[in-house]
């Protein structure tokens, strides 16, 4: 990169986790040494040998994303990511700054989105495994899968949903990157 380019500016922060629903409550939990790991409440884990997890408490998707129509085509992971984005954008004040500019279009063209997400959404992969386990001949797979797998399956499994919907929602058209990898995306 040439001199002066390649700068990254973090303007806002957002967080939703087992330790808190936003940056302040998460930081308070961490500062006090309060763990978000607790007995699993989302399903019956009484027979599990290790029934503990870090769950986002009171998960209500409609309260977490501004566009409820998105809930038809995104996963829980996307909902949590988009909620963190909304918090970060609000924390930054970037939208009011953009509106104060003489040329907001240029600002949008230069504002990028970088997101870390896992490479796959394994839960949705099981939609096809269920079909495969119930057929006798592989030639039946196509017709059977089309009847049993949700038609929006592909949209739900895309690892870049948070990136795409952030760009669309806020009009950010600059450089973008979706880092997919469980170990490095965070």
Residue 132: domain span: 122-158
Per 3-state DSSP, the chain is made up of helix, strand and coil in percentages (nearest 5) of: 45, 10, 45
Residue 164 lies in a domain: no
Residue 139 lies in a domain: yes
DSSP 162: H
pLDDT for 186 equals 62
Residues 26 and 19: beta-carbon distance below 8 Å? yes
Q: What are phi and psi of 47, to 5 degrees?
A: -95, 0
d(Cα 113, Cα 95) in Å, to the nearest integer?
14
Give the pTM: 0.80
Give the pLDDT confidence of 76-131 residue by residue, as tens digits. 889 999 999 999 999 999 999 999 999 999 999 999 888 888 766 656 666 767 77
The answer on pLDDT for 173 being more than 90 is yes
Task: Give kind and range of the element (H or E) at residue 25.
Answer: helix 23-32
pLDDT for 31 equals 97
- Residue 29's contacts (CB-CB under 8 Å, 6 or more residues apart) are 19, 20, 35, 36
Residue 133 lies in a domain: yes
pLDDT band at 157 (very low <50, low <70, confident <90, very high): confident
Residue 87 lies in a domain: no
- The number of distinct structural domains making up the chain is 1
The answer on pLDDT for 168 being more than 60 is yes
Query: Alpha helix locations (H) across 39-179?
Result: 61-64, 76-92, 94-100, 104-110, 122-133, 141-148, 153-157, 161-170
- Residue percentage of the chain with pLDDT more than 70: 90
C-alpha of 125 from chain center: 17
Give the pLDDT confidence of 39-80 residue by residue, as tens digits. 999 889 999 999 999 999 889 999 999 888 999 888 888 999
Residue 146 lies in a domain: yes
The answer on pLDDT for 1 being more than 50 is no
Residue 143 lies in a domain: yes
Residue 88 lies in a domain: no
pLDDT band at 4 (very low <50, low <70, confident <90, very high): low
pLDDT for 96 equals 94
Residue 94 lies in a domain: no
């Amino acid at each position: 990169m040439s001199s002066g380019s390649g700068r990254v500016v973090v303007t806002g922060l957002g967080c939703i986790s087992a330790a808190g629903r936003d940056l302040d409550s998460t930081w308070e939990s961490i500062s006090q040494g309060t763990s978000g790991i607790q007995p699993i409440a989302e399903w019956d884990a009484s027979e599990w040998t290790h029934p503990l997890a870090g769950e986002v408490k009171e998960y209500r998707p409609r309260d977490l994303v501004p566009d409820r129509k998105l809930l038809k085509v995104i996963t829980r992971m996307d909902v949590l990511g988009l909620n963190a984005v909304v918090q970060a954008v609000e924390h930054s004040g970037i939208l009011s700054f953009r509106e104060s500019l003489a040329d907001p279009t240029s600002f949008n063209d230069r504002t990028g989105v970088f997101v870390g997400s896992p490479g796959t959404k394994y839960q949705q992969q099981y939609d096809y495994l269920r079909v495969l386990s119930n057929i006798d001949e592989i030639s039946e797979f196509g017709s059977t899968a089309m009847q049993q797998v949700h038609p929006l399956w592909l949209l739900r499994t895309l690892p870049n949903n948070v990136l795409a919907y952030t760009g669309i929602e806020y009009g950010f058209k600059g450089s973008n990157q979706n880092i997919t990898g469980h170990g490095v995306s965070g």
